[in-house]
Structure 1
Amino acid sequence: MPTLYHPALVATQPGEPVGPLRAIGNFVRKGTTFSGRASRSEYWWVALVTTLIAGPLYYASENDLLEWPNATGAAGIVVLVLVLLSLLLTALVVVFSIALSVRRLHDSNLSGWWYLLIMLPVFGQFALLILAALPPDPHGVRFDPQPRPVRTPAARA
């Protein structure tokens, strides 16, 4: 019975440099994928873009530049919808960022459980920053999706 193997469909292979648009595309497309690997360029482009977006928003909120109007009626419903959408977007970005970090750790041949270092105040974030900067390890291929055997029509007869 001949069996063929088809490689897993992957947008980019680790070690393959990606630009900011492709990195953001992978970030959204693989947002809930905790298996596989992410290249350094993919990780750092997303880190830069999220920092450039979140930084000014954080500054504005800390300096009371973003205040929700005290609205009632229809305007209050609009404000409520905007608040709920921003909470949903924030939750998605958090989950997608955790998945990206886990895939980045896999590229360095480290278990995704190392992400739990983030729970250690100050030290944990610094340690993850160093781990994210590690070069790719060829043994990280163990975290890639394994090829699936595909039977040929002749093998079924």
Structure 2
Amino acid sequence: MTENPQHGRPSPDARQPPAPSGATVPSPQQGAYQTAPAGYGGPQVQGAGPRPGVGMGRALKNWWAYKFQGHGRASRSEYWRVALALALVSAVLLILMMVITSATAEQITSYSQRSQYGYYSGTDVRLSGVGIATTLITTVILLVLGLLTIPLQVRRLHDANMSGGFWFLSLIPFVGGLILLVLMCLPPNPQGQRFDTPEDIGRP
């Protein structure tokens, strides 16, 4: 670069040094998400951006399609819509279980006794075979649904640029669930792109 001796500033016709080989100069129109960091050591991918907000249908499709996938990211809407749907399903299953077990329970004995506080009565009941089967089936379904949400929670942590290992904080007695709830509410962080693999770029 040459300087104008009169003013000590670079002259207009001075040539700029060439950019290093392989380097690209971003244009003013490029946004903050034009280049994603290398996912798990992979090459940089052009066009990556934050995970888009999705509706209930798309959130459920993504959850089921990627139910065993621990890499990549999940937006807040992608997580919370699934969480709401599963909460409603769980509530319906529990109500049905209680109705069926109560309706099919078998009465064993009725009794009336006197104590220092007066008379009291009660009935001993036991679950029928139908009630026991209903309880076991409901328990298994709820357990499976809970396990299938773990990869989704890990991807939500990735979206906040946090390692999936933070999920284990949810196992802390009494406060673990509250900690996980707070983590699931964290906003997205652009640096969370580092958890993407090439197959995660551009997926719905």
Q: TM-score, normalised by structure 2?
A: 0.54
Question: Which of 146, 160, 170 is residue 94 of structure 1 equivalent to?
Answer: 146
2:71 is the counterpart of 1:35: yes
**Equivalent residue letter for 2:176:** G
Residue 123 of structure 1 deviates from its aligned partner by 1.2
1:133 matched residue in structure 2: 185
1:143 matched residue in structure 2: 195
Task: Give the direction of change, closer, same or farther, for the CA distance of 1:85–1:39 in structure 2 (3 Å limit).
Answer: same
Structure with bigger RCO (C-alpha 8 Å, 6+ apart): 1
Between stretches 93-102 and 42-51, larger displacement belongs to: 93-102
- In 2: Cα distance, 1:86 partner to 1:56 partner: 10
2:159 matched residue in structure 1: 107
Task: Give the direction of change, closer, same or farther, for the CA distance of 1:39–1:14 in structure 2 (3 Å limit).
Answer: farther
Q: Percent identity?
A: 36
Task: Give the direction of change, closer, same or farther, for the CA distance of 1:126–1:83 in structure 2 (3 Å limit).
Answer: closer
Contact 1:32 1:95 in 2 (8 A): no
- In 2: Cα distance, 1:83 partner to 1:128 partner: 28
Q: TM-score, normalised by structure 1?
A: 0.68
Residue 136 of structure 1 deviates from its aligned partner by 0.4
SS of the residue corresponding to residue 149 of structure 2 reads helix
Larger radius of gyration: 2
Task: Give the direction of change, closer, same or farther, for the CA distance of 1:123–1:85 in structure 2 (3 Å limit).
Answer: closer
Question: Which of 41, 49, 60 is residue 85 of structure 2 equivalent to?
Answer: 49
TM-align CA RMSD: 2.9
Aligned length: 129
Q: Per-residue displacement from partner, 1:10-52 (whole Å, max 9, x unpaired)?
A: xxx7430100000000010000001110010000000110111
**Equivalent residue letter for 1:20:** M
Task: Give the direction of change, closer, same or farther, for the CA distance of 1:57–1:84 in structure 2 (3 Å limit).
Answer: closer
**Equivalent residue letter for 1:67:** T
Higher helix share: 1
SS of the residue corresponding to residue 100 of structure 2 reads coil
2:169 matched residue in structure 1: 117
Residue 85 of structure 1 deviates from its aligned partner by 6.7
2:101 matched residue in structure 1: 67
**Equivalent residue letter for 2:193:** V
Task: List structure 1 segments (4+ residues) > 3 angstroms apart after TM superposition.
Answer: 68-71, 82-92
- In 2: Cα distance, 1:66 partner to 1:125 partner: 30
Higher strand share: 2
Contact 1:14 1:38 in 2 (8 A): no
Alignment of 1:70-81 (within 5 A): 70=128
Task: Give the direction of change, closer, same or farther, for the CA distance of 1:67–1:99 in structure 2 (3 Å limit).
Answer: same
Q: What are the ranges of 5 or more consecutive residues in structure 2 without an aligned counterpart?
A: 1-42, 105-127, 200-204
Q: What are the ranges of 5 or more consecutive residues in structure 1 without an aligned counterpart?
A: 8-12, 148-157
